[in-house]
Structure 1
Amino acid sequence: MAPPLSRRSFLAGGTGAIGLAALAACGTSTPDSSSNPSPSGPPKRGGTLRVGSIGGTKDTLDAHFSSTDMDQQRSQNLYDSLMYLSSELPYHLEFALAESIELNADATVATVRLRQGVEFHHGKTLTADDLIFTVRRILNPDNYGRAKTALAAVNPNDLKKIDDRTVQFNLITPDSMFPKRWGSATTSILPTDYDPANPVGTGPFKYKSFTPGARSVFVRNPNYWLEGQPYLDEVHIITFADNTSRTAALLAGQVDAIDGVDPTVLAQIGSSSKFETMITKSGFYQPITMRVDLAPFNDVRVRQAFRLMVDRPAMVKQAYSGYAEIANDMPNPADPAYPTLPQRVQDIDQAKSLLKAAGLEGMTVTLTTTPENGGLVNSAQVFAQQAAAAGVTVKIENLSPTAYDAKFKDWPFTNGYWAASVIGLSYSGRFLKGGGANDSHWDDPAGDAIYRDLLKTTDPALQKELGGKLFQRFYEMGPDIVHTFKNNLDVYSKNLTGFTPFNSNGWSLGAWRYRLVSFK
C-alpha cells in the first residue's frame, strides 16, 4: 500500500503537476493488453461473487490501518476517498467523493468541495464534518493512520469549514501533490460516528460480517452514488493461507476468482474452458529490500554488490515464467521523471570486488519472504541461486502471511510488493524518514530536500527535473534491488464479466472494483 500507508499495495495519492483542480494524466502509452478478455454484453443484476485471496488473521476492515492486498480489496468495496484511480496508465485520477479540489498558486491552501447527495451505508449524508473527522482521525498523534506521511502537510487543527460541503485546508508546507493524495483506501472518508466494529462507508457494498483469516461478507449498497452500480447482490472474500488450497478451491468451484496468482498456478489450471486469465501490465514491482540502518546494508558497497549479483533476464524467466519486464533498480517507470540510465546487468566479478573492499567476502544473509503475492517466494529462491556465484549464501526464511506482515518493517533483508506510482507520491511513504511504509529505514536528507522542492512547484518541467534527481539517487545508492516489473495475473470464471486489467498501477482483479462485475 495502498502504500501505506498501505504496505505493498501502497499508494500515497497520485501524480504529476496540479494547479487549481487540474487533473492531467502523464503522457505515456498503455502496455499491450490484447491478451486480456474484454467485458461483453450489458451487465446483469444479482448473484454472489466469491473471491479467494491470500491473507491472515491480522486482516482489518479499517481502511485507515490497512496494510495488505486483502485489506485493500475489502476497503475498495466498503469505502470511497475524494478521488479514485482510473484503469489507465500511468496514474490518472478522477473525482470520487470530491466535486472539486483547488490549490492556490503556491500550493499552500487547498479547497475541497464534496459531491452532493452522497449517503453513508447507515443513511447519513456526507458533509464537511465527515471530511474533517477523517483527516483528524488519520493524523491522531495517539494512533496515526497509514496515510499520516501522505498528509504530512495538513494541519488537522487548521481545517476551515466553509459550508456543509466545503473545507479549506491551510497547509503547513507546500504540497503540489495534495489533490492526488486522495486516491488510496487509506484516505477513505468515514462518518463522524464511525465504529470499526460495525464499519460504515460510502462504497458500493455494505458490511455484513467479517472473520479475520476466514471470510468477509458484503451486500449491495442500493444507494450508491454511482448510479446503477453495483450489479452483484453479495461479495464474499475468502481467506487462504497458501496458493495450493486456493487453487484447489477454484478448480472445485468453491470460489469464482483468485487474485495475484503465481505463474506456476497457471500450469495447474491448464487450458480449462471454465476460466479466464487476465494479465495486468504496469510498474508493479517486488523489490528485494535492504535495511540501510543495519549492517551489512548500511554500506553502499554491499548494496551495489547485491544488485550486481542479479541476472535480470533469468529472473524474468525463472521466477515469473516470462510474466515480467526487466527493471533497473528504480520504481515507477511510467513517471515522466523516470531517467534513462545504463541498464544494470549481472557482474559477479565486480560484486565480489565490492564485497572484498567491504570486508564481507563469503558472507551469509537471511532473506525473509512470504507466499502472499505471486512471485515473492520464487524470486527469493532465484536470487539465492544467483548470489551463490558471488560466494554469498542466502538462506530463505519463508513465513506465513500473518507472521510476515506483523513485522514487515523489521526484517533486515526481505522482499515485498508495491503498486506502481510516481515518485512525488511514493517517496513520502516508502522513502521519507518516518514514512509508514519505509521498510528499508531509508534516511536521505539530501533526497528529502529535493522532495520538498518538488512539492513547492506546480511546474511540470521542474517537477520532472527534481523527480529525475531522486530516481538517480535510488539508482546510485538506494535500498532496493528492483530487478523486474511484474505482470499481475488473475484467474476467474468465464461466467463473470466486468474485469479489466488495471494498468494504472497494477492492482489485481481490476483493482478489486467489484461494483463493475456481474454474472453473464
Structure 2
Amino acid sequence: MIEISRRTLLKGTGAAVIASAFSGKALAAPKRGGHLRVGLAGGTSTDTLDPTATPVDSGFLTLATIRSTLVGMDAKGSLIPNLAESWEPSKDLTQWVFNIRKGATFHSGKTVTADDVVASLNLHRGDKTASPAKALLQPITKIAADGRNRVVITLDNPNVEFASLLRTDFLVILPSKDGEVDRASKDGTGPYSLESFEPGQHMRFTRNANYWDLDNFAFLDSAEIVVIADAAARMNALRSGRVDLVNSVDLKTAGMLKRVPGIKVEDVPSGLYYGLPMLTDVAPFNDNNVRLALKYAINRQEIVDKVLLGHGTVGNDHPIFKNVKFSATDIPQREYDPDKAKHYLKKSGLDTIDIPLNVAEIGFPGATAAGELYAASAKAAGINLKVSREPDDGYFERIWMKQPFCAAYWHQAITADSRFTEAFLPSAPWNETHFNNPRFNELVVTARKTVDENSRAGMYHEMQKIIHDEGGLVNPAFANYVWAMKDNVHRPDDVTTLGDLDSFHCIARWWLAA
C-alpha cells in the first residue's frame, strides 16, 4: 500500500518501481519459450469474460492473463504502474489524474486511449450495473478524458487510497467504440491473447508480442487452463504429466505429493479467508445474539487442524489478514465456548435452534468437512446445524447471497478500505451478509479522507471490531495457498498473495526452465 504522504502519492513511474516485484536472484533466471498447462480448481459452466461478473478462479486467472488494470501492486504491497504510467492527486484528494501508457495496444491492434479507460470504468458505475466493483467506484462523480492519454477522475469526497482501488481485478481495460465496450470481448491489453474459451472447461492463450513490458512478463510461448474441480483428479493430472501446475492441492495427500520425483509443493500464507456468511436482515440472523451464538459455537482451531491440516491460521470474524495495513491484530481471539454460545442463544429467547447451512467445495475447499465439524461443535450449545452439500456448478449463482447461511471464500484484500467497500457497505453488490451498520458506514467515508495515519488506524480498528462483534461473518480460518508444479516450472522469488497462484499472474509472470 502507498504511504500516506503527498510525496509517495506521486510515486508510480519508472522501471525501478516495476522491477521491485521481481527482486532477487530470480531476475536472472527467466527463460523464454514453452507451453504451460494449469490444472485449476474453481470454474463453472457460467464462467464469463464479463469483468462485471467474474466470481471464480478461472475467471480471475483469465482476466489477469489477457487484460490489464490501470494500477498494479508488487509483492510488498506497493503500487506500481500498469496501463497508467503515473498518477497524481489534487491537493484535496478529490481529483486524480492518470496518465495512460503511450503506445500500449490491444491484441486487436487498436491503440489504448483515455476513451477506452473511461468506458471500461463506467461499466462498473450506475444503477444498472451489478458489478462487484460498483461500490468501489460509487464515490466517483465524473470520469473524463483529457486528450488521448489522460484520464481525470473526480470524487465526491477525498480518498487518500483511491489509486489502490484501481488494482482491483474487475477493473480491467477493454476497447471502446462510441463510448461503449463489449464486456464479453476476447480483446485485451495483457501479456497474452485469448485463443479459445470454453466456460468451466478450457482456456488457451498465446503470447502478445506487442506487450509493453516483455522484459518482465510473457516468458511462455503459450499456456492453457484446464478446469479440474475434483481434487484427486487434479493431483493425478499433475502426477501423470497432463498438466504442469495445479492450485488447491489436496491437503490430505500433499505430503505424498512432495515425495513424487519431479514435483514441488509450495505453501504460501495469505489473507484468503474461508467464510460462513449469514444474511443479517433475515431471521434468525437479524438478531445479533443469534449471530454471536454461532460465532462462539465454532471451533476454529479444529478446522485449521482437521480441514486445512495446519496450512492456515485461525480467523477472528473479520476479513483483514495480519499482513494487510491497519489489521487489528490486537482484537482478542474469539475462542470456541459452547457456554457463551448458549448464553447468547438464551438472550435471543431460545434454548435450541435448527439452522440450515448450505455448502459446496467451490465455496471453499473442505467446506463440507468444515460444516460437519461446525455442526458437531455447535450441538453442545443447542444449535442444530443442518449441513447440505450443494453441487459446485452454478453455486455462486444459485446459493451464495440467496440462501441465508452458506460458505464462500474471499481472496486477500488489496486494502482494508477496498474489502470494507466491496463486501460490507449496504451499497455493495457483493455485500454477502447484507451488513448495514450506520457507525461503520460513517467510518468508511471518514477514514478515506483522513491523511493522518494514526487517526486512520484507529478508525480501521473500530471498523474491524464492529464486524467482529456485530457482523454476519463467521470466519473460521485464513488459508494458505498451496500449489504444486513440475520441477521445470519457475516463478519470481517474491509472489503476491492478493489471489491464488501469484495473484493469478502465474501465466503472465512464470516460466519454464529448458
In 2, the alpha carbon distance for the partners of 1:416 and 1:16 equals 32
Q: RMSD between aligned alpha carbons?
A: 2.3
Q: Indicate how the Cα distance of structure 1 residues 270 and 375 shifts in structure 2: closer, same or farther if over 3 A, else same.
A: same
Question: Following TM superposition, by how much is the alpha carbon of 1:175 offset from its aligned partner in structure 2, in angstroms?
Answer: 2.4
Is 2:39 the partner of 1:47? Answer: no
Which residue number in structure 2 is paired with residue 109 of structure 1?
95
Q: Deviations over 1:68-121 (max 9, x none)?
A: 122111111011101112123xx3321111112211232211111112211111
Give the AA of the match of 2:131. G
Contact map agreement 1:278 1:501 (CA 8 A) in 2: no
Pick the aligned partner of 1:441 from 434, 441, 449. 434
Question: Following TM superposition, by how much is the alpha carbon of 1:197 offset from its aligned partner in structure 2, in angstroms?
Answer: 4.7
1:486-497, aligned counterparts within 5 Å?
486-497=479-490
In 1, the alpha carbon distance for the partners of 2:455 and 2:375 equals 41
Pick the aligned partner of 1:246 from 234, 237, 254. 234
1:343-358, aligned counterparts within 5 Å?
343-358=333-348
Which residue number in structure 1 is paired with residue 210 of structure 2?
223
Contact map agreement 1:64 1:188 (CA 8 A) in 2: no
Which residue number in structure 2 is paired with residue 65 of structure 1?
53
In 1, the alpha carbon distance for the partners of 2:54 and 2:497 equals 20
Is 2:104 the partner of 1:118? Answer: yes
Question: Following TM superposition, by how much is the alpha carbon of 1:415 offset from its aligned partner in structure 2, in angstroms?
Answer: 1.9
Q: SS of 1:355's equivalent?
A: helix
Give the AA of the match of 2:335. V
Which residue number in structure 2 is paired with residue 390 of structure 1?
381
Q: Indicate how the Cα distance of structure 1 residues 449 and 198 shifts in structure 2: closer, same or farther if over 3 A, else same.
A: closer
Contact map agreement 2:66 2:192 (CA 8 A) in 1: yes
Which residue number in structure 2 is paired with residue 100 of structure 1?
86
Q: SS of 1:185's equivalent?
A: coil
Is 2:369 the partner of 1:378? Answer: yes
In 1, the alpha carbon distance for the partners of 2:306 and 2:145 equals 56
Q: Deviations over 1:278-320 (max 9, x none)?
A: 1111222112211101111111111111111122222211111
Q: Which 10-residue stretch deviates more, 180-189 or 377-386?
A: 377-386
In 1, the alpha carbon distance for the partners of 2:340 and 2:225 equals 48
Q: SS of 1:384's equivalent?
A: helix
Pick the aligned partner of 2:409 from 408, 417, 420. 417
Which residue number in structure 2 is paired with residue 481 of structure 1?
474
In 1, the alpha carbon distance for the partners of 2:122 and 2:333 equals 44
Which residue number in structure 2 is paired with residue 128 of structure 1?
114
Q: Which 10-residue stretch deviates more, 167-176 or 437-446?
A: 167-176
Give the AA of the match of 2:52. H
Which residue number in structure 1 is paired with residue 326 of structure 2?
337
Which residue number in structure 1 is paired with residue 19 of structure 2?
none
Q: How many residues align?
A: 492
Q: Indicate how the Cα distance of structure 1 residues 443 and 124 shifts in structure 2: closer, same or farther if over 3 A, else same.
A: same
Pick the aligned partner of 1:234 from 186, 200, 222. 222
Q: SS of 1:100's equivalent?
A: strand
In 2, the alpha carbon distance for the partners of 1:40 and 1:390 equals 55
Q: SS of 2:313's equivalent?
A: strand
Pick the aligned partner of 1:161 from 145, 152, 162. 145
In 2, the alpha carbon distance for the partners of 1:371 and 1:38 equals 37
Which residue number in structure 2 is paired with residue 200 of structure 1?
187
Is 2:446 the partner of 1:456? Answer: no
Give the AA of the match of 2:159. D
Which residue number in structure 1 is paired with residue 249 of structure 2?
261
Give the AA of the match of 2:268. T
Give the AA of the match of 2:340. Q
Question: Following TM superposition, by how much is the alpha carbon of 1:172 offset from its aligned partner in structure 2, in angstroms?
Answer: 2.5
Of all paired residues, the percent bearing the same amino acid is 27
In 2, the alpha carbon distance for the partners of 1:92 and 1:430 equals 23
Question: Following TM superposition, by how much is the alpha carbon of 1:379 offset from its aligned partner in structure 2, in angstroms?
Answer: 2.2
In 2, the alpha carbon distance for the partners of 1:103 and 1:136 equals 20
In 1, the alpha carbon distance for the partners of 2:252 and 2:204 equals 29
* TM score, norm. by length of structure 2: 0.90
Q: Which has the higher contact order (CA 8 A, sep 6+)?
A: 1
Q: Which runs of 5+ in 2 are unaligned?
A: 13-23
Q: SS of 1:187's equivalent?
A: coil
Q: Indicate how the Cα distance of structure 1 residues 485 and 237 shifts in structure 2: closer, same or farther if over 3 A, else same.
A: same
Is 2:152 the partner of 1:152? Answer: no
* TM score, norm. by length of structure 1: 0.89
Q: Which runs of 5+ in 1 are unaligned?
A: 1-13, 26-36
Question: Following TM superposition, by how much is the alpha carbon of 1:376 offset from its aligned partner in structure 2, in angstroms?
Answer: 2.8
Q: SS of 1:429's equivalent?
A: helix
Pick the aligned partner of 1:80 from 46, 68, 71. 68
Give the AA of the match of 1:469. E
Q: Which 10-residue stretch deviates more, 99-108 or 217-226?
A: 99-108
Q: SS of 1:465's equivalent?
A: helix
Is 2:508 the partner of 1:515? Answer: yes
In 1, the alpha carbon distance for the partners of 2:337 and 2:2 equals 35
Which residue number in structure 2 is paired with residue 28 of structure 1?
none
Which residue number in structure 1 is paired with residue 128 of structure 2?
142
Q: Indicate how the Cα distance of structure 1 residues 469 and 198 shifts in structure 2: closer, same or farther if over 3 A, else same.
A: closer
Question: Following TM superposition, by how much is the alpha carbon of 1:499 offset from its aligned partner in structure 2, in angstroms?
Answer: 5.8
In 1, the alpha carbon distance for the partners of 2:205 and 2:99 equals 29
Q: Indicate how the Cα distance of structure 1 residues 363 and 58 shifts in structure 2: closer, same or farther if over 3 A, else same.
A: same
Contact map agreement 1:40 1:497 (CA 8 A) in 2: no
Q: Indicate how the Cα distance of structure 1 residues 198 and 188 shifts in structure 2: closer, same or farther if over 3 A, else same.
A: closer
Give the AA of the match of 1:289. P
Contact map agreement 1:21 1:103 (CA 8 A) in 2: no
Q: SS of 2:273's equivalent?
A: coil
